[in-house]
Amino acid sequence: MKSKFFKGAVYALLVPLLASCSDDSDFTPIQSGPFKLISHTLKGVKVNELILKGDMIFAATEDGVYGRQVNSPDIRFITMGLKGKNIRDIHPFTVSEILASEVTFSSEGSQTQLYRTGNAGTDWEEYETNFGDSLADADGLGDFEPVPSQPNHLYASGNRVVAKSTDKGKTWEPVWGEWGMAGTADMILKVNPKKPDEIWAGGQGNIENGYLVKVTGNEETGYWDDLVPNPTVVKELVFDRENPQTMYVGWEGALAKTVDNGITWTTLIDRTGTKDFYFGIGISTQDPNILFAGRWLKGGISQALELSFSKDKGATWESHSFPHITEGGILDLKVIRQGNMDRIFVGLDKGGIVELQFKPGQ
């Protein structure tokens, strides 16, 4: 089959930037508690994932792929192509070579199309793979996850399946589950950074039953489907930097934590009554005791941007909001270090991307 090519904008982020006015050049920073909102870009765009690579931050959105240099004075996220496509996630092998997953939904199920660029988005081609095997229509590739110390290896999640590729996403083999399983196509996936043979994944079955699974050496070594009352779904997994036995899990209705690799669990935030979804979880780069959390409200309702933080690894919480941002449902959150402060990039549902600054002790 002949590959189709898609032209993208020449990616100016990889060449010296010219001084120019951005769409937020007149933005006035807003303080709310210890958080300072310093930029708001891509307004009106739904951001599915934020991905860090080198000095770049990329955004997989419902309108293609965007990116910017983290330390550039130009705060704009520039289009990198695939405009109009619902890009669920991307994996940058380098800042130039990128794999993207488009997931479309219909009454017959979900469909996945992978795309690849080798020149930072100037051109994209359809990337033919065996993901999903002959049942590809039933397996939406929702999440990429790199394999530590193996740059050509990659994990990806489908509908109740975790698969591995050893050739940059060309061929795939399930390591948990099977192709064509019933479930949602937005399963989340993480590899334990200190234990590369340990994979955690979570999602939702076909009757809105949330589950979390641990896979060690391609064998299921843990499974939980009763940590949060159903209906629920896992939306985020974050490992503690100091202790790989500690992990935070964002669910529909709760934020949970384990300190012993899943033997015991503690509910840090209980929102089962309002069914808040915890897509956004981050840990301060300045102080490992400081945890950030952001929520999304179901139903497409307007919500103010609200960010919560804990100084004691989730035991107690304090929340601050920015009411003027009315499309503030949080779908992803990434934290990077700059000097003595945290820079927090937040991807919003129809609200684009905001950046906040946080200084511990402020």
Domain limits, the chain: 5-358
pTM of the model as a whole: 0.93
pLDDT (tens place) for every residue of the chain, 362 residues total = 345 666 665 444 444 333 333 355 578 999 999 999 999 999 999 999 999 999 999 999 999 999 999 999 999 999 999 999 999 999 999 999 999 999 887 666 678 899 999 999 999 999 999 998 755 445 788 899 999 889 999 999 998 899 999 999 999 999 999 988 877 767 999 999 989 899 999 999 888 899 999 999 999 999 999 999 999 999 999 999 999 899 999 999 999 999 999 999 999 999 999 999 999 999 999 999 999 999 999 887 899 999 999 999 999 999 999 999 999 999 999 999 999 999 999 999 999 999 999 998 76
**CA end-to-end span of the chain:** 58
5-358: CATH superfamily = YVTN repeat-like/Quinoprotein amine dehydrogenase (2.130.10.10)
Q: What is the reported pLDDT for 103? A: 87
